[in-house]
Structure 1
Amino acid sequence: MRTEGTVEAFRRAEKLVAQRRPLEALRTLGPVLDEAPDKPSVQLLAGRAYLFSAQFQRAELAFLRVIELDPSDHYARLVLGRTLQRQGRLDEAHTQVRLAATMYPDPAYQEVLGEIRAHIARLNDSG
């Protein structure tokens, strides 16, 4: 991010996402996305805002872009998995969250993985 105004806009957008005001965050983040579309932190923040505003396809694309730019980003894989889960794409979600949990063995990641596995098991039992 090149200008002070861009950094300031990014920080404002971060605060808005933290406050669960994703649409305002996306409006604030627009110029930042225009200026730094290949910056993983910008795509990750946009993806989170899209996810929180139920724009799942846009969130998916943003998280995939982060992973393309930085394949080792475990958090991007986790939230991509959550995004896929919200779309009912459980097998794909499981794959991404399993990778994230392998890369970063955090109990919270394991909890998400268990949740997805339980959901898949319920569907298999009822089907």
Structure 2
Amino acid sequence: MTQEPAEVFAAFRHAESLVARRRPLDALVALAPVLAAEPDAPSVHLLAGRAYLNSAQLLRAEDAFRRVLELDPSDHYARFALGKTLQRQSRLTEAQTQLRMAVAMNPLPEYQEALGEVSARIAVEGGR
């Protein structure tokens, strides 16, 4: 059964609100039909990645953010989120690479702070 565009949009907005209310597992349930209807929409994968990250499903989050970057390599937030996901997996050198790119694309303070944290950990602990 194909969903109408208005239904897909409403489901996406509902999933967004669930992520904002820190209910990532419920958001993923709401997002499932949207992912099926819009498999090549970067925004859908980005929202899924955020929900996965917020529910500590780090490998799924990584896959979702990498999919966003396949679809839109210029998405600086996806680079930042991928960097944070890799950082939580203690893959510091990979995280640093993604965070450096995010900062180069858009030097937001949040991105710069995350890069500083990862760079400091690498300096103390080594890259891994």
Gaps in structure 2 of 5+ consecutive residues? none
Structure 1 gap segments, 5+ residues each: none
Q: Note the alpha carbon deviations across 1:21-76, whole angstroms, 9 max, x for none.
A: 00000000000000101100000000000000000111000000000000000000
Letter in 2 for 1:14: E
* Secondary structure, counterpart of 1:88 in structure 2: coil
Structure 2 residue corresponding to 1:119, chosen from 121, 125, 128: 121
Question: Match of 1:70, as an amino acid?
Answer: D
- 1:77-97 C-alpha deviation (Å, 9 max, x unpaired): 000000000011000000000
Amino acid of the structure 2 residue aligned with 1:116: V
The CA deviation at 1:105 is 1.1
Describe the SS at the equivalent of 1:29.
Answer: helix
Is 2:23 the counterpart of 1:28?
A: no
Q: How many residues align?
A: 124
| Aligned equivalents of 1:113, 1:93: Cα separation in 2 | 8
Structure 1 residue 51 corresponds to structure 2 residue 53: yes
Distance 2:33 2:70 in 1: 22
Q: Which amino acid aligns with 1:31?
A: P
Letter in 1 for 2:65: F
- Aligned pair in 2 of structure 1 residues 121, 2: CA closer, same or farther (>3 Å)? farther
Q: Which amino acid aligns with 1:104?
A: N
Residue matched to 2:92: 90
Residue type of the alignment partner of 1:96: Q
1: CA distance, partners of 2:4 / 2:92: 39
Alpha-carbon shift at residue 107 of structure 1 (Å): 1.4
- Looking at structure 2, the residues matched to 2 and 54 of structure 1 have their Cα atoms a distance apart, in angstroms, of 32
- Secondary structure in structure 1 of the residue aligned to 2:63: helix
Q: CA deviation at 1:2?
A: 5.5
Equivalent residue number for residue 60 of structure 1: 62
Partner of 2:76: 74
The alignment yields a C-alpha RMSD, in angstroms, of 1.1
